[in-house]
Amino acid sequence: MEKAVIVENVSMRFNLASEQVDNFKEYLIRKLKFQSISFDEFWALKNISFTISKGESVALIGSNGSGKSTMLKIISGILTPTKGNVQVHGSIAPLIELGAGFDNDLTGKENIFLNGAILGHSKKTMLEKYDEIVEFSELKDFIDVPVKNYSSGMIARLGFSIATIVKPEILIVDEILAVGDQAFQNKCHKRMEEMMNGGTTVVLVSHSAADIKRICSKAVWIDRGHMRYVGDVDEALSNYQHTCI
């Protein structure tokens, strides 16, 4: 089958400061005095390889801090791996941090156009889709209110509505199905199922075994940066859950 995502020997290193620098002023003084700040290396991912076929739904599973979200950000192009290579074939809608591109001082309406532009959509497209976005989010009565007054659930509603209004070829989802009320979660599931039925590839991170089994046909188990298993969802979850006992 044609591949949507190819991950080849990907490793990701972060430098963690081993000395505490409490503020920018102290950091600047050290730099002016040519005092170096030492760092400890942390490898979030080590030699990860897997492929995702077009139209496939794949879950990344593992404990907190295992590197799942880092892997999603690399696939989305937000991060560049320290080593290895990722090939992505198709347009991406990354649902990683809903509302991350919002300006808190702008209204919901203004943020629809701002976030749409960030996602690469034209103003014409956003004007055409505006009413549909507002209707799906159920925020018509609050659309002219600054988003700084929104609850986290309202922000999630608006972010999801914007990100999924134009069907992407690849949908990246990081735990966003756990936000909002049950009715909104059901709407999210329904829209995702519609996209999947239309051929959208899905890459999902979730701690909900029920969501993973419902949405995904394949799983990648990452454990403390190392890939432990790629394959059947039930077997992946069984192996992972066994280590959590």
pLDDT tens column, 52-71: 999 999 999 999 999 999 99
What is the C-alpha radius of gyration for the chain, rounded to an integer number of angstroms?
20
Q: Please give the CATH number for the structural domain made up of 3-91+168-244.
A: 3.40.50.300
Mean pLDDT by 10 residues, the chain (245 residues): 95 74 53 57 94 96 93 92 96 76 93 90 94 95 96 86 87 73 82 88 90 92 95 94 77
Structure-token pair, residue 138: 């159920």
* pLDDT number for residue 183: 81
Residue 177 CB burial class (10 angstroms; 0-12, 13-18, ≥19): buried
Q: What is the DSSP letter of 164?
A: T
Residues 6 or more apart whose Cβ sits within 8 Å of residue 104:
146, 147, 148
| pTM score, whole prediction | 0.79
* pLDDT number for residue 26: 54
Q: How many helices (H) and strands (E) does the chain have?
A: 8, 9
Residue type, 127: L
Residues 6 or more apart whose Cβ sits within 8 Å of residue 87:
3, 5, 6, 8
Give domain limits for the chain. Answer: 3-91+168-244, 101-166
Is 172:75 a contact under the CB 8 Å cutoff? yes
pLDDT tens column, 98-138: 666 789 999 999 999 998 898 888 999 999 999 999 999 99
